[in-house]
Structure 1
Amino acid sequence: MQLSEQNTYNIQGIDPHQLIEDFGSPLYVYDGSTIKRKVSELQHAFAGINMKIKYACKANTNLSILRLMREIGVELDVVSPGELEIGMLAGYAANQITFTPSGVPFEEVKTAVDAGAIVNIDSIPLLKWFGQTYGNTKPCLIRIKPNVAAGGNIKIMTAHADSKFGISVLLLDQILDVVKKYDIKIVGLHQHTGSDIKDAEPFLQVADILFEAAKHFPDLEIIDLGGGFKVSYLPGDAITDMDLLGRKITERFKKFCSEYGRELQLWFEPGKFLVSESGFLIVNATVVKEDPARNFVHVNSGLNHLIRPMMYGSYHHILNLTNPGGEPKVYNVVGYICETDTFATDRTLPEVSPGDALAFLNAGAYGLTMSSNYNARMRPAEVLIDNGAAKLIRRRETIDDLLLTQIEI
C-alpha cells in the first residue's frame, strides 16, 4: 500500500477517516491489492524456474489474509501447531503447509507430521528422533545453518554461527551419518538467513552453500532459500532488487539443477515482504504536550499494538491524515502504555492537534501477531480492503475477552 502525502488519502477509494467512523480507532487496515502486487513481483522475478511461494504466516495470521494468499496460489509456512491449525481452518490442505520448528517439543513435530504437513528438521536430536520414529516412511527437509550473517538487525539475523536456528553446515558429516543410519527420506534442504536483506550477495552466498551441501543428498526435490527480502520503510528507502536477485538466483539454480541431474523446485518463504506494505495502523492523537526538551504527541495506542519500534528500533513512516498540509513540527510520537513507549523520536510531521488521525505505515507484518494485552488494554480491530470494499476481519476486543480464560476461586 502506498499513501502519498497529499491533501487526500484513500485506499482503493476509501477515506481512512471513514474507516475510523465505521470501525473505530486504533485500527489495523490491510490493502489486499498490495498483497497481490507483492506476490506478483516475486513470481515475475523467478518466472524462469519452478518456484513456489510459502508465506511465512507468523507475520500475519488473520484467517482472511491466509484465505487471500490461498486464493492467489501461495502456500504456507508455519512455526507452531496453532499456526498449522489456523492454516487448515483457512482452507489449506496439510500437504500445502511446511512446519518449521525451532527447538520445540517433539510432540509438536508429531502433531504436524500426523496432520500431513512436511517438517523442516532443525537439530541433530530432532533428526535422530524423526529417523527413529518414522524411518523412511515420512518425508522431511533439513534446515541448514550456513553461518552467514546478514539482515537489518542482529535480532532478526537467523543464519550466523551463533544463531539458534538450524543445523550448522559444519556438521554435515553428522547429518549424513544419521540420515544413513535411519534411512530418513530427505526431500529438501532449507535455510533462512534473516530479515531486511537488501543486497543480492548474501542470498547468492547461502544459495551456493546449500547447493554444495545438496550434492550429498541424492533424492532431493526442493531447495528452500527462506525469505528476508527488504521492504521500504523510509520514503525512497532502498529495497531488495527482486528482478536482479531473480536473474542471479535463477542462473545459479539452473546450473545447480544441471549438475545435480534433474530439475528441482525452488521455494521461498517471505512473510514481511508480502504483507508489510499492505498494512497500516490508524491511531488518534490524544494529547499534544509541549515540553522544554521535546514536543510529544500522545496517541491512543502503544507497544501493546505495535511493538516493533521498541523491540527492534524499527522505523515506521507516520502520516498526519487530518492535517497533511500543516506547518512542519518536530515531535516524539509516544503511546499510552505505562512504560517507555516510543513510536518515533524527533519526527517531523505536519502540526498535530488532539484528535488528529495518524497512520503508521508498513504495519501489515508483526503488528497484531506480536500484540498483547499489557496494561489490560484491548487489541484493535482489523479491516481488509479488497476489490474496493472494506470488510471487518477481526472485531475489537472487549474486557470480556481479557477475562475469558480466567477462573475465579
Structure 2
Amino acid sequence: MPSPSTPLPPHLVYRDHQLVMEDVALASLARAHGTPLFAYSKAAILDALAAYQRGLAGRPHLICYAMKANSSLAILQVLVRAGCGLDIVSGGELERALAVGCDPERIIFSGVGKTRSEMRHALQVGIGCFNVESEAELEVLDEVACDMGLRAPVSIRVNPNVDAKTHPYISTGLKGNKFGIAHERVVQTYLRAAACKGLRVAGIDCHIGSQITETGPYLDAMDRVLELVDAIEAAGVPLEHIDFGGGLGIDYAGDTPPSADALWRQLLERIDARGHGHRKICIEPGRSLVGNAGVCLTEVLYLKPGDQKNFLIVDAAMNDLPRPAMYEAYHRIVPVQPRDEPGLVWDVVGPVCESGDWLGRDRKLAVKPGDLLAVLSAGAYCMSMASNYNTRGRAMEVLVDGDQALVIRQRESAQDQFRMEQLLP
C-alpha cells in the first residue's frame, strides 16, 4: 500500500485493503463494467468548486468551467447545477453546453480560431461574451454581428507576457504563444473595438497557462491587467468585468498549488488595493475542478521483464490517457487491491503500437497479471483528449455519488466508430 505520507486525492481511500472512491470499491466497478474505465467522484468536483465559491463570496462574479478539461455531459450537469457557467472553445462545445441546460448568458466563448458559423450560432442563442483573441477576429465578429443586426459582447484577451512556469505546451501568456493581443497593442485594439457598430465592449480577458502551482505569476499578470484597465478607461472605453481565466494546477506528484480560496484572497486584495474592487470577476477554471476527481482503472495484462527495462503491459493506452505521451506528464499509479510483497520497478505501458505509449516510467509495483491499477488525477485532459487510434473504443465513464455509481458514458464499440464511414460500392 502507498506510504501514508503520500496522500491520495480527495475522496479516495484504502479501506479493508481495497481502493475506495467515496463509498464505492473501485474493484467492484471494474468487475461490473470492465476496463479501461474512468471513475469520477462527484463530491470531489463539488468540493473543488466550493473553494472558488468561498474565495469569491460577496463579490460580483461568474465562474465558468473550462469544459475542454472534461466535457462529458454528466460532469457538465454537475457543475451547471452547482452554479457554474461554461467556458467553450468550439461550436461543438456550445452544443454540449446547451444540451445540459446552461443559460446562454453564462457561456463565454474563448479560442483563437472561431469560424463565422460558430459566431453566428453563438450570437443566435445569446451567449454572454466572446473572448476575442486577435484583431482579425475582431473584424470578422463585427461583420457577422452587423449582418445579423446584433451587437456581440466582447472581452479582448490580452497577452501580458508573464511566464506561468509551466510546460511550454500549456503556457499561454508569453509573447511567443499564439494566444491574445500583445500587451503594447491592447489600448489601440480596444479603441478599434469600441468604434465597431457590431460590437459591445464588455470586459478584458487574460489567461496565462495551465497547471500553475505558484501565486507569483497570477499576481504579476493581475498587476499588468489592472494597468491596462486603467489605460483603456483613460482612453474612453469603459469595462464591466475582468476575466482572469483559469490555469490553477492540481497535485499530480507532490505538487503544492495554492488552494483556490487562498489564491483569490490574494488576488482580490490586489484588486482592492488598485481601486477595482467594484468590478465583476469572471474566471474559467478547468483542471482544478475535475482533475483530481477522476481515476482510470486498468487491468494488468502481461509482465515482460528485460535486461534494461521491465515492462508492465496494461489494457489502457495513450489513446485513453494521452498526457504522458504528449507532455511527458506524471500520473501516480497505485494498486486497487495492494499485495503484501516486495515490488519491482516497471515501465507501465499500453497495447498501442507506438514506443510513446506509456502511462508511467520507473514505478515500483507488486503486481501479477489480472491485477487492477488506478491511474490517479485522470479527471482532466484524459477522456476529453481520448482518441480511437488503433481502432480502440473510448472507455466507459462512471460518476460515483456516495455509495452509488452511475454510468455516464457507455463503452465505445467498433461499430460505433464505423458509423460515419462508408464502404466502396
Is the structural similarity TM-score above 0.5? yes
Structure 2 partner of 1:75: 85
Aligned-partner SS, 1:182:
coil
1:360 aligns with 2:375: yes
Pairing partner for 2:300 from 263, 276, 285: 285
Q: In the alignment, which residue of structure 2 is the partner of 1:129?
A: 140
The answer as to 2:36 corresponding to 1:26 is yes
Q: Secondary structure at the match of 2:222?
A: helix
Q: Does 1:398 align with 2:413?
A: yes
The corresponding residue for 1:174 is 188
Partner of 1:249: 267
Deviation at 1:128, TM superposition (A): 2.0
> Is the aligned partner of 1:140 residue 2:154?
yes
CA distance in 1, matches of 2:379, 2:261: 23
Counterpart check, 1:316 vs 2:331: yes
Q: Which one of the candidate residues 376, 379, 383 is aligned to 2:398?
A: 383
Query: Which amino acid in structure 1 is aligned with residue 263 of structure 2?
Result: L
Among candidates 325, 333, 348, match of residue 364 of structure 2: 348
Tell me what 2:203 maps to.
188
Residue 53 of structure 2 aligns to a residue whose secondary structure is helix
Cα distance between partner residues in 2 of 1:131 and 1:192: 23
User: Is 2:213 aligned against 1:198?
Assistant: yes
Mapping for residues 78-157 of structure 1, pairs under 5 Å: 78-117=88-127, 118-134=129-145, 137-157=151-171
Letter in 2 for 1:42: Y
Task: Report deviation, 1:144.
Answer: 0.9
CA distance in 1 between partners of 2:245 and 2:315 (Å): 36
Cα displacement string for residues 250-272 of structure 1 (whole angstroms, at most 9, x for unaligned residues): 1122234x3x5x72111111100
Task: Pick from 211, 225, 229 the counterpart of residue 248 of structure 2.
Answer: 229
On the 8 A contact 1:50/1:265 being kept in 2, the answer is: yes
**Residues 151 and 195 in structure 1, CA contact (< 8 A), matched pair in contact too:** no
The alpha-carbon deviation at position 243 of structure 1 amounts to: 4.1
Q: TM-score scaled by structure 2?
A: 0.91
- Which amino acid is 1:167 matched to? I
SS in 1 for 2:130: strand
**1:42 matched to 2:58:** no
- Name the SS for the 1:10 alignment partner: strand
CA distance in 2, matches of 1:40, 1:85: 26
Shift in alpha-carbon separation, 1:177–1:243, aligned structure 2, 3 A:
closer
Displacement, 1:387? 3.5
SS at match of 2:329: coil
User: Counterpart of 1:9 in 2: which secondary structure?
Assistant: strand
SS of alignment partner, residue 140 of structure 2 = helix
2:329 is the counterpart of 1:329: no
Residue 19 of structure 2: SS of its match in structure 1?
coil
Q: Report the CA distance between 1:106 and its aligned residue.
A: 2.9
Measure the CA separation in 1 of the matches of 2:36 and 2:144. 48
Are 2:172 and 2:209, in contact at CA under 8 Å, matched by a contact in 1?
A: yes
Q: Secondary structure at the match of 2:373?
A: strand
State whether structure 2 residue 256 is matched by structure 1 residue 238.
Answer: yes
Residues 323 and 356 in structure 1, CA contact (< 8 A), matched pair in contact too: no
Assess if the C-alpha contact under 8 Å between 2:68 and 2:286 holds in 1. yes
- Measure, in 2, the Cα distance between the counterparts of 1:356 and 1:64: 29
User: Residue type matched to 1:122 in 2?
Assistant: E
User: What secondary structure sits across from 2:300 in the alignment?
Assistant: strand
Query: Is 1:53 matched up with 2:71?
Result: no
Give the deviation of 1:156 after TM superposition.
Answer: 0.2
What is the RMSD of the two structures over their aligned residues, measured on CA atoms?
1.7
- With over 3 angstroms needed to count, the CA separation of the structure-2 counterparts of 1:289 and 1:205, relative to structure 1, is same
**Structure 2 residue 232 is matched with structure 1 residue 213:** no
Name stretches of at least 5 consecutive residues in structure 2 with no aligned partner: 1-8
Q: Per the alignment, in what secondary structure is the counterpart of residue 66 of structure 1?
A: helix
What is the aligned-residue identity percentage?
33
CA positional deviation for 1:73: 0.6
Which AA in structure 1 matches 2:397?
Answer: E
1:17 aligns to what? 27
Aligned residues: 404
- Tell me by how many angstroms 1:5 deviates: 5.6
